[in-house]
Amino acid sequence: MKKFINLIDEKLKQAFVAAGYDEKFAKATISNRPDLCEYQCNGAMAAAKQYKTAPINIANAVIEELKDEKAFEKIEAVMPGFININISSAFLADYVNEESQAEKLGCNIEENPKKIVIDYGGANVAKPLHVGHLRPAVIGESIKRMFRYLGNDVIGDVHLGDWGLQMGLIITELQERKPDLVYFDENYTGEYPKEAPFTISELEEIYPCASAKSKEDSEFKERAHLATLKLQQGYAPYRAIWNHIIQVSVTDLKKNYGNLNVTFDLWKGESDADPYIPQLIDILNEKHLLHESQGAMVVDVRTEEDTKEVPPCIIQKSDGAALYATSDLGTLIQRKQDYDPDMVVYVVDKRQEMHFTQVFRVAKMADIVSPKTELIFNGFGTMNGKGGKPFKTRDGGVMRLETLIGEISDAVYSKIMENRSVSEGEARETSKIVGLAALKYGDLSNQASKDYIFDVDRFSSFEGNTGPYILYTIVRIKSILNKFLESSEITSDKMIPFASGSEKELAMVLARYNDVIENAIHELAPHKICAYIYELSNAFNKFYHDTKILACEDADKKQSYVNLISLAKKALEECIDLLGFEAPERM
Ligand code: ARG
């Protein structure tokens, strides 16, 4: 479906051309003086230079061509040459009527759908999800849903950290604790047990303990390095332990991501890149890209245009060990073989930007990805606690994501109990849904690349630019619609032309839906969807405040109101689904 603003552009273009001016000047924008008009066109100012006449002359000539235009309720030229436009209610009603019947409220499905891999989440096995994992999960999930909305073929991959030193640390610590396990008996030839020799809570305790030990005990660290190497070389008993670690960890991760309403299509990890590393080395050698530097094998990725230092990308350390970049390049070989994607988007901490600059350059130089493949680094900023410092628990430790989710849902719970007389059980259920919205909206409403302050009180407030406020608005509309249906039959699914004021303003915001959403998707910008639904919620609440909806005596008018707010509800619901949360029935 065409964008509302483009329909206005089309009318303006015809008028510019009819008046003898180039159509390139005919561009409408949303008015920045809503007290004066709804849309405006500033093209006469630019055209004046080309045509060497006063802008007001051009503006006057253009509006003369539009004086009988039915789409505009008012069009006027004002000094020095602005064209101010108000839309006619009938024209607006036609548009929103079409929108309400259209698939995805008039968003246009991609003409050439893309195959897109989204690399997000990035959890490390055997370590519990902590607050640092909130952003990649929440932002990545939203971007995945957004691309999918426009008909792209999107594959979400969690890309686990499952292959590094942490594995050797766990194996070594396990050997200290349980030396009698068959995995540590070199003469053992039988099958390895199916059951893991630890639970998730043990595993989560083993890792930090081993990590701390390795910092003090260099002999222990050496053994852990050796164990890592043996694992990577395929030593069967360690492989068996590794499989247990993955299985126990992934089960737990699925549960925790599930609580965030985050799901992945692929549960691949760094380990899956390992088989592609020999091939990677071959490709780099064939292209003469690899050279030795201080004992390591590296690829130079600097270019003339660089304004800051871009160090060489290290592919192999002197002991032959692979590095983070090696694993990401191996993964790209695998992704090319499996999907040959048009785009790979990495939702990763912005502090890793240099790493991805290096990886992308090597991938392009060595044709590891197709020329068509766009590699996008969507780096996010840090989530800080109040006071602008990185988020910590009271005793200074790293806060588990579960604890954070618990805190926000408790905050919402007490608000619900304060306000209403619902049962404790219902309040608990509702606060989980609303708490998740508070958390996700609090995050997504900030531009991803910026740092932000996580503020439980502010995020869980039912007023202001928050998730709960958006949900509250949806719940309010649902309740009006339910009441309507209790006493009335639906007589029409159309809206009749709107009265000026908050009714028309609400319709105006709705008419922009496809424009805003498509744009937010193309810019990978969930925060633009947040800004839009905040505006939409405000517009609805103003309308609700000004209007007796169900008490309206004119049945046609009442039906039209109901259809308008149904459309608002649908738009809000589509948007929160894109953001990755949902609304409760009541709150
Ligand atoms: N596991 C990594 C970390 O904790 C994030 C992984 C990001 N994705 C990637 N392809 N490197 O920093």
Cα of 8 to ligand 1 centre, how many Å? 46
pLDDT of residue 583: 98
In 3D space, the residue among 302, 295, 288, 287 whose CA is nearest the CA of residue 316 turns out to be: 295
Question: Which DSSP string corresponds to 161-215?
Answer: B-SSHHHHHHHHHHHHH-TTSGGG-TT--SPPPSS-SS-HHHHHHHHHHHHHHHH
Q: Is 329 left (phi over 0), alpha (psi -120 to 50) or beta?
A: alpha
Q: Is 518 left (phi over 0), alpha (psi -120 to 50) or beta?
A: alpha
CA 80, chain centre distance (Å): 43
Q: How confident is the model at residue 388 (pLDDT cuts 50, 70, 90)?
A: confident
- Whose alpha carbon is nearest atom 5 of ligand 1? 122
| Least confident among 124-133, 266-275, 394-403, 548-557 | 394-403
| Least confident among 216-225, 311-320, 435-444 | 311-320
Q: How confident is the model at residue 386 (pLDDT cuts 50, 70, 90)?
A: confident
- Whose alpha carbon is nearest atom 10 of ligand 1? 328
Check pocket membership of 124 for ligand 1, CB cut-off 6 A. yes
pLDDT of residue 368: 97
pLDDT of residue 579: 98
Summarize pLDDT for 75-109 with one digit per residue, the tens: 999 999 999 999 999 999 999 999 999 999 999 99
- Whose alpha carbon is nearest atom 6 of ligand 1? 122
pLDDT of residue 387: 81
pLDDT at 132 over 90: no
pLDDT of residue 395: 75
pLDDT of residue 121: 96
Cα of 348 to ligand 1 centre, how many Å? 7
Please give the share of the chain, as a percent, with pLDDT higher than 90.
90
Check pocket membership of 122 for ligand 1, CB cut-off 6 A. yes
Check pocket membership of 443 for ligand 1, CB cut-off 6 A. no
Cα of 243 to ligand 1 centre, how many Å? 20
Provide the β-strand partners of residue 344: 117, 375
pLDDT at 389 over 90: no
Tell me how far apart the alpha carbons of residues 508 and 293 are, in angstroms, rounded to a whole number.
62
| Least confident among 126-135, 187-196, 279-288, 376-385 | 126-135
Mean pLDDT of the chain: 95
Tell me how far apart the alpha carbons of residues 326 and 315 are, in angstroms, rounded to a whole number.
5
Nearest ligand 1 atom, CA 133: 4
Nearest ligand 1 atom, CA 160: 1
pLDDT of residue 38: 97
- Whose alpha carbon is nearest atom 2 of ligand 1? 122
Q: Are strands 153-157 and 115-119 parallel, antiparallel or unpaired?
A: parallel
pLDDT of residue 26: 97
State mean pLDDT over 433-456: 96
In 3D space, the residue among 89, 38, 72 whose CA is nearest the CA of residue 557 turns out to be: 89
Residue 458 CB coordination number (10 Å): 14
Residue 346 is given by DSSP the state E
Tell me how far apart the alpha carbons of residues 40 and 51 are, in angstroms, rounded to a whole number.
21
pLDDT at 394 over 90: no
Q: How confident is the model at residue 407 (pLDDT cuts 50, 70, 90)?
A: very high
pLDDT at 254 over 80: yes
Check pocket membership of 159 for ligand 1, CB cut-off 6 A. yes
For residues 344 and 377, is the Cβ–Cβ distance under 8 A?
no
Summarize pLDDT for 11-64 with one digit per residue, the tens: 999 999 999 999 999 999 999 998 999 999 999 999 999 999 999 999 999 999
pLDDT of residue 298: 97
pLDDT of residue 419: 75
- Whose alpha carbon is nearest atom 11 of ligand 1? 328
Cα of 119 to ligand 1 centre, how many Å? 9
Q: How confident is the model at residue 129 (pLDDT cuts 50, 70, 90)?
A: confident
pLDDT of residue 318: 84
Q: How confident is the model at residue 164 (pLDDT cuts 50, 70, 90)?
A: confident
